[in-house]
Amino acid sequence: MASPEPWLYPANGTQSPPDGSDVGEVIRWYRLREGLTQEQAAVLLNTTQSRLSKLEKGAQALRDIDELRFIAARLGIPSERLGVLPDRSADARPRSNSVAGSPGPVRDSQDRWRAVRAELNRNRAVLGDLAAELYPESQRLPGTTVLSAPGWIPDGPVDLADIELTWLPESPAPPITGRAEAAAAARALRADGTSYDRYSRALRDLARPKLLDNRVSYRLLAADLADSARLAFNYTSYFDVLDVGEAVAHEFASAWLDAGNRRPSLADLPFRRLVEDPFDLTARPMLPSINTLTIRRDPIDGHRMYLHKRDSQSVAAAGGMYHVVPAGVFQPAALAPAHQANDFSLWRNIQREFSEELLGNAEHDGNAVDPIDYLTDEPFASFEQARLAGDFRTSALALVLEPLTLWVELLTVSVIEAPVFDQLFADMVAVNEEGVAVTTDAARPTVGIPFTSDTLHRLDEEPLSPIARACVSQVWAHRHTLLGR
C-alpha cells in the first residue's frame, strides 16, 4: 500500500521538546487553577513559600526528576508538561514469579519462546531478507532488501545540518501496540498461565540482554527527505517500539521454523498483518535508529570503513550481525527535562554513539541532571571543531524500514579526513558494550576494512544486517560526491 502524502509541521509545532525552562509558569498556572495560595501549595508540595515563589518566577531551576513527578502528581499536572515521562524503569527489572519452574504448559511455552528467540538472533540477516519478500519490489530501496517510501529517499546525500527537526505538540495514540491480541503468540505465558502483556517483559524475564533500558525517546511522526528535508517528532519510549518490532520479528522466526526454514506467508503472521501500511508513522510507535557508516578518507593509501559485530547477548535488537558503526536509537542522554531539548539533534545523538562505540566511553547515565555541554565536554568539543573545519562531514542518505522488525532507520555516513580521524580516534577500542570491531587485519583489530568494490563483493557472503548492507550500498552509490574532494 502506498504511503500517503506526509502531513508535515503544523504551524504550532516548535523546534524542540520541553526543556523545563517554563516549569515555574506551569506550576503557577496549575496552582491558580486549583485555587491555592502559594502558602497552601507550598504545604502540599512539602516546600517553603519562599522557594515556591522563586520556582514560579524562574529565579531557581528545578531539574530533579523525582521532585518534578511529585509536583505533577500533587497539582494534577501532566508529567509531560514538565518535560518528564512516567517512570517505567521497573519494566526492566526481572520478576521471578513470572518464570515457570515446574513442567507443564507454562514452561513449554517459555522454553519454546527462548528457542525461537535464539533462532531469531542466530538468523536475523537471513530472516530480514526473507521478510522483505513479503512486500512489493516497488516498496524497496533500489538494489537492497530494505523498505522505503516516496519522500524518504533524497536525490543525493543531505548534510545533517540541513535537516530541520520539528517538535509536534501532540502525539496521537497509535492503534497498533505490542499489547495487541494478535501479538500474544509472540509473548509466551507467565507463571499464572496468562500471556505476557508486552514483549519487553518477556524479554526481561526469559532472555534478558545486558543492555535493556526503557529510555524516553523521540517518536517519529512525519518525514520528508526528498523535498523539504524535515522530520517531526514527539515522545515515545524504547520499550513501546521494541514491543512491536521485536514481536513482529519473533512471530516471523516462529513461523519460519514451523515451515521448515522456509519463508512463511502473511497468512501465518497475524500481528504483521495488522500493519497494513508499514510506512504509516502514526499507526504504531516509531523510533528511528540512526545508522552511520564511518569512512576514514585517505585518497593516497585508500579509504577505509568500519563495521561492528553486535553481541546478541548484550543488545535487544539487531544482535549477531555485522553492522555499521556507530548506530543507536534517537533519544536524549538522560531523563531530566533539560536533556530533552539539549539532545534533540541528530548530530549530537551520533556524537554520543561515536564516543561510546568507537572510544569505549560509558553510556551517559540516564538519571544525570545536568545536560551535556557539547561545545566544551570532550570528545564532543573536538568532534564539533572538526565538523566546523569541514574535516568531519555527516550526511543523511535515506530513511528506511528494516523488513524483519519494521523498525524505522535513518541511513547516514560520516566522512572523516584521515589525519583528523587518527587524532580523534587514536584510542579506538576493539570491544565495547555492544560488540566487537570487524577488521581485515587480525593483528590490528581497529584498522577497519578497505572501502573498495572487491570488499563489497566479499561482504555479499557475510551476515551483514539488511540495514548495514543498504547503508554501505548507498554510500558506494554516492562515493564520488562523498569522497571526491
Position 99 confidence tier, pLDDT thresholds 50, 70, 90: low
Q: Which amino acid is at 471?
A: C
Interior CA angle at 233 toward 229 and 235, to 5°?
165
User: Which letter does DSSP use for residue 365 in this model?
Assistant: P
169 within domain boundaries: yes
Summarize pLDDT for 212-266 with one digit per residue, the tens.
Answer: 778 889 999 999 999 889 999 999 989 999 999 999 999 999 999 999 999 999 9
Of 241, 223, 231, 230, nearest in space to 174 by CA:
241
Instruction: Kindly report the number of other CB atoms within 10 A of residue 284's CB atom.
Output: 24
Q: What are the two backbone dihedrals, phi and then psi, of residue 402, each rounded to the nearest 5 degrees?
A: -75, 125
* R_g of the chain computed on alpha carbons: 23
Distance CA 47, CA 49 (A): 7
What is the maximum alpha-carbon separation in the chain? 74
Mean confidence (pLDDT) of the chain? 87
Position 6 confidence tier, pLDDT thresholds 50, 70, 90: very low
9 within domain boundaries: no
Which three-class secondary structure string do you get for 151-194? CCCCCCCEEHHHCEEEECCCCCCCCCCCCCHHHHHHCCECCCCC
pLDDT of residue 390: 96
Of 144, 154, 132, 159, nearest in space to 456 by CA:
144
pLDDT of residue 401: 97
Q: What are the two backbone dihedrals, phi and then psi, of residue 290, each rounded to the nearest 5 degrees?
A: -105, 115
With pLDDT > 90 as the criterion, what percentage of the chain qualifies? 54
pLDDT of residue 243: 96
Range with the largest mean pLDDT of 198-212, 361-375, 393-407: 393-407
Of 171, 433, 485, nearest in space to 298 by CA:
485
* Confidence check: pLDDT of 117 > 50: yes
Counted domains in the chain: 2
In this structure, of 212-221, 327-336, 393-402, 441-450, the range with the lowest mean pLDDT score is 441-450
What's the rounded mean pLDDT across residues 154-175? 93
* Domain-terminating residue out of 84, 102, 134: 84
Summarize pLDDT for 429-458 with one digit per residue, the tens.
Answer: 887 777 788 888 777 778 889 999 999 988
431: cell is: 570491544
- Residues 355, 372: one domain? yes
- Which of the two residues, 208 and 88, has the higher pLDDT score? 208
pLDDT of residue 288: 97
* Confidence check: pLDDT of 5 > 60: no
In this structure, of 75-89, 225-239, 387-401, 469-483, the range with the lowest mean pLDDT score is 75-89
Cβ-in-10-Å burial (0-12, 13-18, 19+) of 86 comes to exposed
- Which of the two residues, 34 and 330, has the higher pLDDT score? 330
Residues 465 and 322 sit within 8 Å (Cβ to Cβ) = yes
Summarize pLDDT for 467-480 with one digit per residue, the tens.
Answer: 999 999 999 999 99
What's the rounded mean pLDDT across residues 323-332? 92
Residues 91 and 201 sit within 8 Å (Cβ to Cβ) = yes
Instruction: Kindly report the number of other CB atoms within 10 A of residue 175's CB atom.
Output: 11
Distance CA 138, CA 127 (A): 20
- Omega within 30 of 0 (cis) for the link into 332: no
* Domain-terminating residue out of 84, 108, 136: 84
- Residues 455, 438: one domain? yes
- Residues 273, 398: one domain? yes
pLDDT of residue 445: 74
With pLDDT > 70 as the criterion, what percentage of the chain qualifies? 89
Q: Which amino acid is at 190?
A: R
Q: Which residue has the cell 584498522?
A: 447
- Residues 282, 429: one domain? yes
46 within domain boundaries: yes
User: Which letter does DSSP use for residue 99 in this model?
Assistant: S
Distance CA 255, CA 23 (A): 50
- Omega within 30 of 0 (cis) for the link into 371: no
CATH number assigned to the domain comprising residue 51 = 1.10.260.40
Domain of residue 272: give its range: 92-483
CA 193, chain centre distance (Å): 32
Q: Which amino acid is at 283?
A: A
Distance CA 143, CA 169 (A): 37
* Confidence check: pLDDT of 413 > 80: yes
* Confidence check: pLDDT of 314 > 90: no
Distance CA 216, CA 234 (A): 11
- Residues 210, 61: one domain? no
75 within domain boundaries: yes
- Residues 72, 125: one domain? no
- Residues 36, 163: one domain? no
* Confidence check: pLDDT of 171 > 90: no
Residues 255 and 189 sit within 8 Å (Cβ to Cβ) = no
355 within domain boundaries: yes
- Residues 46, 103: one domain? no
pLDDT of residue 10: 34
Query: Pairing state of beta strands 164-167 and 230-237?
Result: parallel
* Domain-terminating residue out of 40, 63, 84: 84
Summarize pLDDT for 180-221 with one digit per residue, the tens.
Answer: 999 999 999 988 889 999 999 999 899 887 777 788 899 999
